[in-house]
Structure 1
Amino acid sequence: MATGAQDSQARFGQSVKGLLTEKVNTCGTDVIALTKQVLKGSRSSELLGQAARNMVLQEDAILHSEDARSYSEECWTVIRSTGPAKSPAEIEWHIRG
């Protein structure tokens, strides 16, 4: 009987060992999948941040071009009303009035 009990315990031990191995492999696969997902999310965040920075740069460029256009219009207004100016300082003087 002792041999039968030992065989039973050995089979049970092998069964448990097999189940544990399977579970460890599954957990390992899940950890790898989770790591990939985290890295993918990190990359998405990085790309989103870069897009936001690019939008800010574009906005600054647009605002600068609007300022330059406005200044150019003011210069042309002065030139039309007073004739050609001799220097940028003279244009500034006419703008300030």
Structure 2
Amino acid sequence: MHMSKEIDFKNRDRYVQLGIVIAALRKMRGFSQEQLAEKANVSRSHISSIEAPGIARPFSLEIFFNIADALEIAPADLLNASIFPDKIIHSRKG
């Protein structure tokens, strides 16, 4: 089964939202895509495709955990941020 071509419709928005949150947190941390890719041990093009708005790019839990660690956020918080982005992203103000 080719995951990238056959994503469950209900999961599509989840991947898109997660990519948006990863991009937002990366920018808040001041990382380039190259820097995040290096820290997460994936290629820059993979980070780019995960972050691309409107494109649902499935990726493994291994990569998810690596990205969370690189962004210095708990994996659960990264998932929560994709569901409740304002609550998580703006809770660290001040």
Q: Which has the higher contact order (CA 8 A, sep 6+)?
A: 2
Over alpha carbons, which structure has the higher Rg? 1
Q: TM-score normalized by structure 2? A: 0.29
Larger helix percent:
1
